[in-house]
Structure 1
């Protein structure tokens, strides 16, 4: 992997399988559903970006600042995140903020990424690159 590849799509839509079909199995995976956000700099692939956003918000951290500070390292990664912006807008203010901040992060990463794909039902659609 030599350039940032952002892969987005719904939960269980085949994003990781698609990434592995392109790059082979990943030895170093950072899963932000259970790993600390700081570990993104040690991995070839980062999954569950949306969960990293939640963790950062719960800490009171600025999500954009966090990822901007690490963008040079992330330029050599595959980044995978779930789309969480569809459907009914949550009533809970934190849930709305989490959804918004995740969308803002995806926009930032999409601008920075060389390649952006969306995967739906196992079918990838190239959006950039």
Structure 2
């Protein structure tokens, strides 16, 4: 599993397309789409985009104290899918929103903190982690 992060509009998707998409069978999953069910075919890549927006959508539907539990289970399911097939890849892309000025609004601060925690959880389950700034990759893990 791969996690690609960096600033908004810094070239994460383009870099991912050019460097990490290994198969012809690619499913791009946007924040409004369900990740599951996963296909059973081998030689496929799933790219989950806009992770921070997916987290924001979850905040409106699920109690924030349960989101980390749900997200870790999703990561385990994705990792299991990837490992139990031939040439399967999961790529997760999310904007880094944890830098800069801390928001005054408590709910926005809570969202920002939650994104930071879920990104930490994501990094634990990913084999490779990249930060993309201005189209330039830095491998973190």
Residue 119 (structure 2) pairs with residue 115 (structure 1) = no
Please report the TM-score for the alignment, with normalisation by the length of structure 2.
0.79
Deviation at 1:30, TM superposition (A): 1.0
Q: Which runs of structure 1 show a deviation greater than 6 angstroms over 4 or more consecutive aligned residues?
A: none
Equivalences, count:
121
Secondary structure of 1:28's counterpart equals strand
Please report the TM-score for the alignment, with normalisation by the length of structure 1.
0.86
Q: Which residue of 1 aligns with 2:7?
A: 10
Q: Which residue of 2 aligns with 1:64?
A: 68
Residue 133 (structure 2) pairs with residue 84 (structure 1) = no
Structure 1 residue runs of 5 or longer lacking an equivalent are none
Deviation at 1:40, TM superposition (A): 2.0
Q: Which residue of 1 aligns with 2:55?
A: 53
Secondary structure of 2:132's counterpart equals strand
User: How large is the RMSD of aligned CA atoms in angstroms?
Assistant: 1.7
Structure 2 residue runs of 5 or longer lacking an equivalent are 39-44, 83-89
Q: Which residue of 2 aligns with 1:30?
A: 29
Q: Is the 8 A contact 1:26 1:45 kept in 2?
A: no
Question: Judging changes above 3 Å, is the alpha-carbon distance between structure 1 residues 26 and 91 closer, same or farther for their aligned structure 2 residues?
Answer: farther
Question: Judging changes above 3 Å, is the alpha-carbon distance between structure 1 residues 89 and 26 closer, same or farther for their aligned structure 2 residues?
Answer: farther
CA displacement 1:13-47 (0-9 Å, x = unmatched): 01111111121577311111xx14xx123470100
